[in-house]
């Protein structure tokens, strides 16, 4: 115990004495660690942002997309019932229809267009649908006597005088039987200058506007390990139920290009770290030659060759560890201040904290380069003959 504590104290003491030289060598190491940690973290966080963006558009990873291949004379409601039967049999927890509707809001001017979608409650989970205000649909909303809507800001601006969704404004949807629909929530815009957009529950859409709804696609969110199996089984069973669908297998990893970029930048960071390490090695070698006499004196105090080796090695490791901590702290400061909202146009829902892995990678690189840079001077220090060292 005292041996280890003593060696660390001794190493720290040496660094204190030679701080200017060591500091200069360590700037490179700290910069390289900042680069490696920062890039690892940035790629992780940007990857998360891109993943979320992808999932909003096409559903979470291992979401199977099914396209209708024609269902004969069956109505959308009958198709939906058949699909529900198949998903229940396979115990698929999350699935949602992707239906479009051709509806008109009272007061709309000619040329006004609203993007209408009819979905199931699970749509929110499958597509990570976040809310700006209000709430998403719940199962009990299906039982309501009037339809409820989830809309975007453009819809509220155009048809509800910009009222907040939390005030539950109502709009009248034209049709054979006009009906007042209540807005219960506001969803974020998908892109700048997005036009009015509204979602309603498929069951309610079928109840109020059965002739204006076209349900031609479904999404099934399945466990990753079962995705391939379901991609094969679902079309067969759906066809057997009289509703043939073409089921797309899950997407391949969409971030492969970013991984290549990550490795490229990590490679550059690693090279910078190597250069920093060589600088440190140079300084350590010069320092250890300068300290031969001191090493001899310490041997007269009872320092074993192992302790001398460990001490010199530790000087390098302690130094790069400190540089690593500094590098990681700088990386955290930089990454935490990247304006992700501005880059992606919207905040990340599940914004990950600073990735612990990235910090670990940075620290491991720093300690590793310290050990490598300290190895040669440590071997040199041990080989010095004590009696020659004292006279040096």
Partner 1 sequence: MTATPLVDLQGVTRHVELPNGSTLEILRGVDLTVGPGEHVAIVGRSGTGKSTLLNILGLLDSPTSGEYLLEGEPVGRLRSRALARRRGDDFGFVFQQFNLLQGRTALENVAAPLLYARGKQFWNRTKLATQSLTRVGLGERLDTRPEKLSGGEQQRVAIARALVRGPRVILADEPTGALDVETGQAIMTLLDDAASETGSALVTITHDLAIAARADRQFRLADGVLVPIHLDAPAAVAENAAVATIAVAETARLTT
Which string of x and - marks every residue 1-20 that binds partner 1 (by CB under 8 A)?
-x--xx--xx--x---x---
CA torsion 14→18→19→21, rounded to 10°? -140
**Residues 131-170, interacting with partner 1 (CB under 8 A):** none
Q: And the tokens for 327?
A: 């590098």
Which residue lies nearer to partner 1 by CB, 94 or 310? Answer: 310
The answer to whether residue 278 forms part of the interface with partner 1 (CB under 8 A) is: no
Tell which one of 197, 212, 299, 346 touches partner 1 (CB under 8 A).
299
Distances (CA, A) of 171 to 134, 139, 144, 360: 16, 22, 16, 54
The answer to whether residue 297 forms part of the interface with partner 1 (CB under 8 A) is: yes
Contact predicate 46/258, CB 8 Å:
yes
Q: Which H or E run includes 171?
A: strand 170-173
Residue 253, beta-bridge partner list: none
Which window, 85-93, 295-303, 326-334, 342-350, contacts partner 1 (CB under 8 A)?
295-303
Tell which one of 233, 274, 285, 386 touches partner 1 (CB under 8 A).
386
Tell which one of 168, 228, 293, 376 touches partner 1 (CB under 8 A).
293
Tell which one of 95, 197, 298, 346 touches partner 1 (CB under 8 A).
298
Question: Nearest distance from residue 370's CB to partner 1, in Å?
Answer: 21
Which residue lies nearer to partner 1 by CB, 104 or 293? Answer: 293
Tell which one of 304, 333, 351, 360 touches partner 1 (CB under 8 A).
304
Which window, 68-76, 157-165, 233-241, 299-307, contacts partner 1 (CB under 8 A)?
299-307
Question: Nearest distance from residue 318's CB to partner 1, in Å?
Answer: 15
Question: Nearest distance from residue 8's CB to partner 1, in Å?
Answer: 10
The answer to whether residue 123 forms part of the interface with partner 1 (CB under 8 A) is: no
Q: And the tokens for 354?
A: 């600073």
Neighbours of 2 (CB within 10 A): 7
Dihedral sign, CA of 279, 280, 283, 285?
negative
Distances (CA, A) of 13 to 19, 308, 314, 347, 384: 10, 14, 11, 47, 21
Contact predicate 91/175, CB 8 Å:
no
Cα angle 334-335-338, degrees, rounded to a multiple of 5:
90
The answer to whether residue 302 forms part of the interface with partner 1 (CB under 8 A) is: yes
Contact predicate 9/311, CB 8 Å:
no
Question: Nearest distance from residue 364's CB to partner 1, in Å?
Answer: 29
**Residues 364-383, interacting with partner 1 (CB under 8 A):** none
Residues that bind partner 1 (CB under 8 A): 2, 5-6, 9-10, 13, 17, 293-294, 297-307, 386-387, 390
């Amino acid at each position: 115990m005292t041996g280890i504590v003593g060696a660390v104290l001794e190493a720290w003491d040496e660094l204190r004495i030679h701080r200017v030289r060591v500091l200069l060598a360590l700037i490179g190491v700290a910069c390289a660690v900042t680069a490696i940690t920062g890039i690892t973290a940035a790629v992780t966080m940007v990857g998360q942002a891109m993943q979320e963006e992808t999932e909003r558009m096409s559903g979470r990873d291992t979401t199977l997309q099914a396209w209708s291949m024609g269902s004969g004379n069956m109505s959308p409601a009958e198709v939906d019932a058949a699909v529900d039967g198949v998903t229940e049999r396979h115990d698929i927890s999350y699935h949602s229809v992707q239906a479009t509707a051709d509806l008109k809001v009272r007061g709309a001017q000619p040329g006004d267009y609203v993007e209408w979608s009819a979905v199931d409650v699970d749509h929110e989970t499958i597509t990570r649908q976040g809310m700006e205000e209000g709430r998403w649909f719940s199962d009990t909303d299906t039982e309501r006597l009037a339809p409820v809507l989830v809309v975007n800001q453009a819809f509220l601006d155009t048809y509800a005088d910009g009222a907040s969704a939390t005030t539950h404004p109502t709009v009248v949807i034209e049709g054979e039987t006009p009906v007042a629909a209540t807005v219960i929530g506001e969803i974020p815009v998908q892109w700048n200058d997005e036009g009015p957009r509204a979602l309603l529950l498929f069951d309610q859409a079928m109840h109020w506007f059965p002739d204006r709804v076209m349900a031609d696609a479904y999404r099934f969110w399945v466990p990753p390990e079962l995705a391939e199996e379901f991609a094969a089984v679902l079309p067969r069973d759906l066809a057997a139920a009289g509703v043939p669908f073409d089921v797309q297998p899950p997407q391949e990893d969409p971030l492969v290009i970013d991984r290549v970029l990550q490795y490229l930048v990590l490679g550059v960071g690693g090279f910078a770290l190597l250069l920093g390490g060589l600088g440190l090695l140079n300084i350590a070698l010069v320092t250890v030659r300068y300290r031969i006499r001191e090493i001899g004196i310490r041997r007269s105090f009872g320092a074993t060759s192992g302790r001398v080796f460990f001490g010199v090695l530790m000087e390098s490791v302690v130094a790069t560890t400190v540089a690593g901590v500094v590098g990681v702290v700088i990386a955290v400061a930089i990454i935490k201040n990247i304006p992700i909202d501005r880059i992606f146009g919207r905040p990340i829902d599940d914004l990950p904290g600073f990735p612990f892995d990235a910090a670990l990678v940075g620290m491991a690189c720093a300690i590793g380069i310290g050990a490598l840079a300290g190895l040669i001077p440590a071997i040199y220090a041990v080989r010095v003959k004590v009696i020659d060292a004292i006279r040096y």
